[in-house]
Amino acid sequence: MTVAISVNNLEKVYASGVVALKGVSLQVQQGDFFALLGPNGAGKSTFIGILSTLVKRSNGRVQIFGRDVDTHVYRTKLDLGVVPQEINFSQFEKVADIVMTQAGYYGLPRKLAAQRTEKYLKQLGLWEKRDVRSRLLSGGMKRRMMIARALVHEPRLLILDEPTAGVDIELRRSMWDFLLEINRAGTTIVLTTHYLEEAEQLCRNIAIIDEGRIIEDTSMKKLLLELDTHAYILDAEADFDRDLRHDEPGLSLHKVDSHSIEAVLSGGRDINSAIAVLDRLGIRIVSMRNKANRLEQLFLSRLRAGENQNEKRDG
């Protein structure tokens, strides 16, 4: 399978002396839906900036679909579409003009540019807003317009830097569907996001970056399998005042309030065993929810492990 992104020993030191990337090496396969996660200031945007040539790297090598970004600068740019984290379009231009202009920058003839503009504005639900000045769009619309703009030249690789920030839940879900659709159609997608649920839902592979280093690079499935503990909040049918002690291995029950219980399952136990135990104790469960997103727990544990390693390295 072709490698969409190949990065070797990427380093970035800004003029201010800030070291943003410390020897990052990473590969993203063609057709993948790849998550790049990390806390604020971890180096995600710098990494994306280097791929899109907006940030000059200090050291290392970058290839897009097997082509070096230095020696094949125009070809690699043609393969790439970028949706940045910050709003970066003219606030005074109309929506359709912004997308059409971007098509022109990629050398699309006017007729084809108009067709593509219509296609992507329709797919992203912005066609009705095509003659509206971009500053008048809502935050979610601005994000969608930037996606339409990044797709207008139909790149093979789409990089999305927190594309759903500030977007309401319903719209976020429809954007997920859209992104999954274009990924199924063959576009490789790299996503950074603060919504870990989003990465869990969409991405097949994941890398976690912290303090300029990749601290995890694996498949989403493998990563989630490593998580041995699941926590749920269970809601009882009525208030209870009963002792929750029991002898079931791998299950721990704690009272949250007069009608809610936290159940922590480990060692392969599933939620049915918790419900059965509570039933035996005379507590009937009517609803339940995950206490925390699974990936979120892993993400935090990896960051903590990374911090410990850094302390050892520095100490």
Partner 1 sequence: MFSDHRLIAFETIVIKEVRRFMRIWTQTMLPPVITISLYFVIFGNLVGSRIGEMGGFRYMEFIVPGLIMMAVIQNSYSNVVSSFFSQKFQRSVEELLVAPIPNYVILSGFIAGGMARGLCVGFIVTLVSLFFAELRIFSPLIMISVVLFTSLVFSLGGFINAVFANNFDDVSIIPTFVLTPLIYLGGVFYSIELLPPFWQLVSRLNPIFYMVNTFRYGILGTSDIDVAWAFAMLVLFAVLLFGACIWLLRRGTGIRS
Please answer whether residues 152 and 106 qualify as being in contact, where contact means their C-beta atoms are separated by less than 8 angstroms.
yes
Please answer whether residues 150 and 81 qualify as being in contact, where contact means their C-beta atoms are separated by less than 8 angstroms.
yes
Our CB check for partner 1 shows the closer of 87 and 180 to be 87
Per CB under 8 A, does 57 bind partner 1? no
Q: Which of 8, 29, 30, 52 binds partner 1 (CB under 8 A)?
A: 52
Per CB under 8 A, does 77 bind partner 1? yes
Per CB under 8 A, does 212 bind partner 1? no
Q: Which of 90, 115, 301, 308 binds partner 1 (CB under 8 A)?
A: 90
Per CB under 8 A, does 11 bind partner 1? no
Cα separation, 279 vs 51, in Å, equals: 55
Q: How far is the CB of 299 from partner 1 (least distance, A)?
A: 27
Our CB check for partner 1 shows the closer of 76 and 297 to be 76
Per CB under 8 A, does 78 bind partner 1? yes
Please answer whether residues 41 and 61 qualify as being in contact, where contact means their C-beta atoms are separated by less than 8 angstroms.
no
Q: Which of 66, 109, 139, 166 binds partner 1 (CB under 8 A)?
A: 109
Which of these ranges, 34-42, 88-96, 236-244, 255-263, lies near partner 1 under the rule CB under 8 A? 88-96
Per CB under 8 A, does 312 bind partner 1? no
Q: Which of 23, 66, 107, 166 binds partner 1 (CB under 8 A)?
A: 107
Q: Which of 2, 91, 219, 301 binds partner 1 (CB under 8 A)?
A: 91
Which of these ranges, 100-108, 123-131, 195-203, 224-232, lies near partner 1 under the rule CB under 8 A? 100-108
CB atoms within 10 A of CB 228: 11
Q: Which of 37, 82, 27 is nearest to 209 (CA)?
A: 37
**b/e string for 256-294 if b means 16 or more Cβ within 10 A?**
eeeebbbbbbeeebebebbbebbeeeebebeebeebeeb
Per CB under 8 A, does 181 bind partner 1? no
Chain residues that interact with partner 1, rule: CB under 8 A: 14-15, 49, 52-56, 73-75, 77-78, 80, 82, 84, 86-92, 97, 101-102, 104-110, 149
